[in-house]
Amino acid sequence: MSTIIEIDEVNKVFATGEHAVKNLSLNIKEGEIIALLGPNGAGKTTLISMICGIVSPSSGKIKVNGLDVVDDYRKTRSMIGLVPQELTLESFETVSNSIKFSRGLFGKKGNKILIENLIKQLSLWEKRNTKIMELSGGMKRRVLIAKALSHEPQILFLDEPSAGVDVELRKEMWEIIKNLKKDGATIILTTHYIEEAEAIADRVGIINNGELLLVEEKKELLSKMGSKTLTIELASKIKSIPKSLSSYHLQLLNNGEKLAFNYKSNDESTGITSLLMDIKKADIKLADLSTSQTSLEEIFVDMVNK
């Protein structure tokens, strides 16, 4: 995959002295979905705003399709669709006019079919003649997506697409985003929801305090760090772990009521079968079994705390 956005040692220090983005470098590949994950104030919106040319970097370079976002602002901006974090819409305008207007802002000729398709794609057809102020929050967010796509950008930024959106609409949004990727768009989204990154991203970047702590293929990240724990509840307490089980590095929990076994879920052989057979040989009786998986959530919390 070729690089579509190059971010090279970018810093942003606001007039207030706030160092919001610190020496950040990142290449975004054409056609990928990358999720930038980070807590409030991490610098996600500032980074996006710099790529979109809304905020100027204090130092460093950002290029979109090889063009500098400061020197070639108009060209780079026209390649980008931005769905902002805040709901900023013209309240008295209708859905359809508002989307048409956005396209016009980029100096693009009207395209009735394209606008109608966008409205349908975002399930706003029935609301196309409704005033924006009469829409629900989730519908407004869909209008913002349609507006961001109205000038046919190659790149789409979604700043917190799930903020204030219910579970059902969130899932719907994920489908929309996945379909846009199928059409060839490059998508960058910011989120607090690890679940969201887990559900749709190809790569995940973790940002904290203006620093990019890590960027990794989601699958790699999950398999590298994602381990599982098998918890074995015993029918009766044991005082210690029998020597015959020492190779499994088990932990004895709850005063001898439970055994915990950590294993890599992606390993060919997890060792569970032999563990259970050896437990039987050791004459330990089981009451119940359960497994739990390390999620991106735990990885994230772990990284940010370090």
Ligand X SMILES: Nc1ncnc2c1ncn2[C@@H]1O[C@H](COP(=O)(O)OP(=O)(O)OP(=O)(O)O)[C@@H](O)[C@H]1O
Which parts of this chain interact with Mg ion (CB under 5 A)?
Answer: 44-45, 85
Under 8 Å between Cβ of 48 and 190: yes
**CB closer to Mg ion, 78 vs 85:** 85
Residue 42 or residue 64: which is nearer to ligand X going by CB?
42
When binding is defined by CB under 6 A, the residue of 10, 35, 45, 115 that contacts ligand X is: 45
Minimum CB distance to ligand X, residue 215 (Å): 16
Span from 16-24, 56-64, 101-109, 244-252 in contact with ligand X (CB under 6 A): 16-24
Binding status of residue 164 toward ligand X by CB under 6 A? no
Rounded-to-integer distance, Cα 57 and Cα 54, Å: 10
User: Three-class SS of residue 109?
Assistant: coil
Q: DSSP state, 241?
A: -
Specify the stretch interacting with ligand X by CB under 6 A; choose among 39-47, 243-251, 278-286, 291-299.
Answer: 39-47
Decide: is 43 part of the binding site for ligand X (CB under 6 A).
yes
Q: For the chain, first and last CA: distance in Å?
A: 32
CB of 144 to Mg ion, least distance (A): 15
The nearest distance, CB 205 to ligand X, in angstroms, is 12
- Nearest-5° Cα angle at 213, 174 to 221: 55
Q: Taking the CA of residue 131 as centre, how many other CA atoms within 13 Å lie in the half-sphere pointing to its CB?
A: 6
Pattern 77-106, binding to ligand X, x per CB under 6 A? --------x---------------------
Contact call for residues 143 and 90 (beta carbons, < 8 A): no
- Output the smallest distance, CB 23 to ligand X, in A: 15
Nearer to Mg ion among residue 151 and residue 196 (C-beta): 196
Rounded distance, CA 153 to CA 105, Å? 13
Rounded CA gap, 185 and 34, in Å? 12
* Rounded Cα distance, 195 and 51, in Å: 25
How far apart CA 59 and CA 16 sit, in angstroms, is 16
Out of 5, 33, 42, 206, point to the residue binding ligand X (CB under 6 A): 42
Residue 58 engages ligand X in binding (rule: CB under 6 A) = no
Give the interface with ligand X as residue ranges (CB under 6 A): 14, 16, 18, 20, 38, 40-46, 85
